[in-house]
A and B are shown apart, each in its own frame.
Chain A
Amino acid sequence: MSLLEVRDLRVTYGSGATAVPAVRGVDLTLEPGTKLGVAGESGCGKSTLALALLRLLPASARIEGEILLDGDDVLAMSWGRLRAVRWAGASIVFQGAMHSLNAVHRIGDQIAEPLLVHGRATPAAARARVGELLEHVGLPAARAAAYPHELSGGQRQRVMIAMALACDPRLIVADEPTTALDVMIQAQILRLIERLVAEQSISLLMISHDLAVLADTCDRLAVMYAGRVVEEGPARTVYEAASHPYGRALSSAFPRIGDPASRRAPRGLPGDPPDPADLPGGCTFHPRCPVAVDACAEHDQELREAGAGRRAACVHVGSTS
């Protein structure tokens, strides 16, 4: 059985005429011990998706569909069950650890909190476990007494990861875990995440705008545009030979150093990612699409088979091959 199965997830903020559809029908599957990357640009709904997985969205958000974690629907479960699932079943690492950590509490107490709240440890045992967790993420156990402002950005992100690991979850959701970090620190954090998920066979759902980082870290890759997955498949294949024109454009926006084709030739797309409150009709990508045909302005495209283990939502996929 899959560890995580998302079925036709829809999230809408607000209601009536001002309703904003942030996620518009997403299906995803994550097998135990595997790593799935979700790529997309601002406003594509990727962070809403991350929050929805643990039912962390504000009350104003309307959620439809199913999120099956180990066969149990997160959206339908009782609060008591949900509390048990958060941290222990699945935990989340947010971007910007400065804002996610409490500035007036020592980091050791913050890491211990889920352990104590879930009644998994006595205060003394929790202290010992905190030291263990800190060393596990590459920080000295003595740093437990530090406050967030005494740590660098990379160290704070390590603390976030230690917190996420505290209750031995089976799934970690990482939302832009390395954004705003320097390249060298980013590499340190990515290697740490890779090592931990491999050692403890945790599954990883990593969300990022950086397709190159996801392709390097994950097994499979889903590309989101305007609240939908428009392409999904093995990470390397999607990065190197995307089937969807948006996937191709996003991939070529990341220059490969040494490749003469991208030397003095930055590539992007005309226009901007669409505003979720004002989506174009038909295929939402058609106004920016270099290969759009007349029908694209009229008809939306569903995901369809695009080769072994691959799906893409484009009129050009499957029609000729």
Chain B
Amino acid sequence: MATLSLRGVRKSYQAGFETIKGIDLDIADREFVVFVGPSGCGKSTLLRMIAGLEDITAGDLLIDGQRVNDVDPSKRGLAMVFQTYALYPHMTVADNMGFALKLAGVSKTERDAKVREAARILQLESYLDRRPKALSGGQRQRVAIGRAIVRQPKVFLFDEPLSNLDAALRGQTRVELLRLHEELAATMIYVTHDQIEAMTMADKIVVLQGGIVEQVGSPMELYNHPANLFVAGFIGSPRMNFLPVTVASGDGAGNGVVALADGNQVAVQMGEALPAPGTPLTLGIRPERLYWDPNGPFAGEGHLVERLGGLTLLHLTLTGGEELVVQTDGNDPVQPHVLVRSAVSPDECHLFGADGQALRRPGHIAQPPARPLPGEAPVVATATA
């Protein structure tokens, strides 16, 4: 269907004040790409620039190799699902979905057939004569998607489409969108601030902050090999623990020891040599990688226990004063206000330099094979040692 490329794309509303500060990105055919980042990072602006609703100040936007900077939004072969759905309130569901075709001069019978087909995919057949007002939030959401499907676009754009749904429906619609991606075999670009949506849906995640791309990669790549402090803190829930440490010792192969504020030493294993002893670094540890160990280096007193049923989160204050969150099993009997010790395996540690950039980690972390793109022959799993 379609590939999409951004070449040095910039956006500024006033001279000297850039919202998007030069983005280079390639999106493959049939890929599900998620733009994720905190509020105001420019992800929605970037999506609207791709859609043609915002002008591109500088740089090129290519769809299938064609420069489309100055092409009218409707001629770019895109369809967009808006955060507010933007359904036409005075039209029925069928008219909403068929509006683009009507404007394109498609005959009524053909239009009806296409609308029915989209309604079938989205299970909206019994609602075709209703107005949007008479639909529930989830149904409106599906009509908005239906309106996009009917046009058979090259690229689907989603602007935070799940943010108006309740938690249960959000999870359901997430699965639904993935199924749709399989069925339509279309390129999709999806904007969200919710890292769970990004992790569960994306083939490729683009983490944005302050108008620049922080990192691009598959969900597991971002999880296991965050490039910097921002990505490490943004991807993963609960958030990664960050502790200030100094290098105690290290060999040239990446094995070494770092010291916490209270002097306790943590063994680490990196994919590159550690800096000279005494260098201050930031140690990053995911809460789910910590485990109880009576001899572990992280000694502290728990002050809060969150029991989520399936797992338990213990908030610790270490003897050095740092905060640490430990995630353990749901049936863990741990109580607050007791001194506990925990440890982490050396190859589960992340280290970040003073500039926030990550030290390379050993690159052999087991990763699931990349999800085959829809329409391709399924990859036959081969046993690896």
On whether the two chains bind one another, the answer is no
